[in-house]
Amino acid sequence: MNLTRYACFGVLMVLILTGCQATPNQDVIANKNDQQVSQSESGTSIEESNSVEESDDDGTVVSEAISETFSSDDGNVTISVQTDAVKVHSVPIVQTEAKDISVDDVKRWAKAFYGTEDVYEATKQMTKSEIEEAILWRQQKINDRESLIEEGYSEADADTMIEYYKEQIESLKASYQKAPDDDERKKTDWAFHPLSYYDDDSMENDRDTSNADKTQALKVQGESDGQKAYVSASNRETADYQLHSLMFYWNDEDEGWIDGATPYVNQEEAIQITDEKLKALVDGNWKVNTVWSSSNQWHIQYIPVINELPCLYSDINYTSDDAYAANLEYGQINFTLTDDKIVAVEWESPMEIISTDSQPAEMLPFDDIYTAFKNYMQVKCTLNSLGLASEDETEGTEQAFANVNDISQMYCRVKVKNAENTFQYVPVYVFSGYVSQGDYKEDDWVNHFCVVNATDDTIINTWLGY
């Protein structure tokens, strides 16, 4: 599937923002570090409260508001902590494992997008009648320019769409003669097959498929919003890389996309659309993690919520080894909308809860957590880690600021040591904010400077794919 623009954005942001643990609007997880930052004496102005009234909605206050400024060891970064009171909930540790995509999962997505489970195996070839219908649909759009404007396109964008439809019609006409008269597709058998089963017939038959066929796949096709669309599931059978995923995507994901245009639905309306579709696709609770637009497309990412705590998300460094499951994504669901139409959805590496501890996790006093955070920031927070180091050594060094304006409790996925593909969600404290230097200030970006395991005060490196 082609999620090019979404993926490119993610990679770009990884390269730009590799700060102390700078990550897009939520982070990831890690296990107990073997190398601890040395603990040093540090005076703070926080007040800890171990027994404060607890509200079902707000949680327990473990620290009053914090206002403190201190410097990194190299003196080039000032860490400013200005946060409200820190509140936490009593939550248990949750045992989990990677979830295999099931046939029922694929059927559910097919029903949600096609309105039926009576669908075909995936194929790229259109019949003559399908081409005729596709041409007719586009010709109707061309002949009714006003309807495009009523849909929210500007006059200029409507003209651009009309030209685009004309080009598509010419392409469809060119493929008409070679198209089969009858539908040569067959109904899906609702079974997973080795990945090469879905190879295009035009591909070389002598290629080695042994590695590809370690992935079991189930792909079906139907029609969604007048477009040929696919639901594709894959389960990787070996731990070299992760392909446990479930996807929906239009045959032409660029359909309706206009470079430089703006979506005619606003952010709130786009989230309403994806919220509603999410209910039809998956169970459980979810939270919007990031939202961004590109031309007239919206990209919306959801993260799981367990026991009312969101699960930390981050990009992953695939160069790290698999000792801590670097091959696993983190269960997020990504939506792509073109205007008000969902053109792609991907559920990456879903996790399945297998058990929950009967008692809440025993969390350390917040003073211990804050000390671990402060020591880490003093040692590890540098211009280079914040992505602000200059390549020109002759330039003066302007003081940078790591502005921590939020301390929140979240769940973080930790690989259970000496176990295969077994994980725990543990409670963590996430110290977040933004970077600034001179006139520069991070906008629309949540920078997770430090993640501390609430049960043992170890620092969690969210860039290693733990």
Instruction: Kindly state whether residues 91 and 134 are assigned to the same domain.
Output: no
Could you say which of 152, 183, 214 is where a domain stops? 183
Taking residues 135-157, report their average pLDDT.
Answer: 89
> 226-240, 422-436, 452-466 — which is least confidently predicted?
452-466
Q: Are residues 375 and 447 in the same domain?
A: yes
Residue-number span of the structural domain to which 53 is assigned: 15-97+357-453
Same structural domain, 364 and 438: yes
Confidence of residue 54 (pLDDT cuts 50, 70, 90): very low
137 and 70 co-located in one domain? no
Q: Of 319, 369, 335, 329, which is closest to residue 351 (Cα–Cα)? A: 329
Instruction: Please tell me the predicted confidence (pLDDT) of residue 360.
Output: 95
Query: 162, 183, 204 — which closes off a domain?
Result: 183
pLDDT at 348: 85
Residues 433 and 361 in one domain: yes
If asked whether residues 93 and 129 sit together in one domain, one would say no
List helix spans (H) across 177-317: 267-281
At residue 206, the pLDDT reads 55
**Separation in Å, CA 398 to CA 197, 382, 389, 433, 438:** 58, 12, 10, 20, 7
Q: Which whole number is the average pLDDT over 46-51?
A: 31
Per the domain annotation, does 170 fall within a domain?
A: yes
364 and 437 housed in the same domain: yes
Of the three residues 165, 183, 201, the one that is the final residue of a domain is 183
| pLDDT digits 0-9 by tens, 361-374 | 999 999 999 999 99
Q: Which residue has the higher pLDDT, 33 or 342?
A: 342
Q: What is the pLDDT of residue 251?
A: 84
CA–CA dist 257, 161 (Å, integer): 9
Max distance between CA atoms of the chain, in angstroms, equals 80
pLDDT tens digits, one per residue of 369-424: 999 999 999 999 999 888 887 766 555 578 999 999 999 999 988 777 776 667 88
- Dist CA 165 CA 159 (whole Å): 10
Per the domain annotation, does 41 fall within a domain? Answer: yes
27 and 73 inside one domain: yes
Residue 65 lies in a domain: yes
pLDDT of residue 123: 67
pLDDT range class, residue 52, cuts 50, 70, 90: very low
Percent over 90 (pLDDT), the chain: 46
Could you tell me the pLDDT band of residue 328, with boundaries at 50, 70 and 90?
low
Statement to judge: residues 77 and 131 lie in one domain: no
In angstroms, the CA 231 to CA 108 distance is: 10
Examine the domain organization and report whether 374 and 442 are in the same domain.
yes
The β-bridge relationship of strands 77-83 and 400-415 is parallel
pLDDT, position 281: 97
Whole-number pLDDT of residue 277: 98
Asked whether residue 439 is domain-assigned, the answer is yes
For residues 1 and 180, the model is more confident at 180
Enter the tokens of residue 439: 């006139």
CA proximity to 427, closest of 465, 396, 460, 397: 460
Mean pLDDT of the chain: 80
Q: What is the mean pLDDT of residues 144-171?
A: 88
In a domain, 411, yes or no: yes
Residue 213 or residue 135, greater confidence: 135
Q: Which residue has the higher pLDDT, 6 or 314?
A: 314
pTM of the predicted protein model: 0.73
d(CA 113, CA 342): 9
**Lowest-confidence region among 290-304, 365-379, 408-422, 442-456:** 408-422
What pLDDT score was predicted for residue 396?
57
Same domain, yes or no, for 82 and 167? no
Is the pLDDT at 105 greater than 50, yes or no? yes
Residue 4 lies in a domain: no
pLDDT number for residue 29: 30
Please give the structure tokens belonging to residue 269: 């309306």
Assess if residue 363 is contained within a domain: yes
Q: Would the pLDDT of 254 be above 80?
A: no
- Mean of the pLDDT values across residues 299-310? 94
Is the pLDDT at 124 greater than 50? The verdict is yes
Look at residue 291 and tell me whether its pLDDT is greater than 90.
yes
Residue 262 counted as domain residue: no
Give, rounded to a whole angstrom, the gap between the first and last alpha carbons of the chain: 26
- Our count of domains for the chain comes to 2
Residue scoring higher pLDDT (8 or 93): 93
379 & 445 share domain = yes
Residue 322 has pLDDT above 70, yes or no: no
So what's the pLDDT on residue 151? Answer: 79
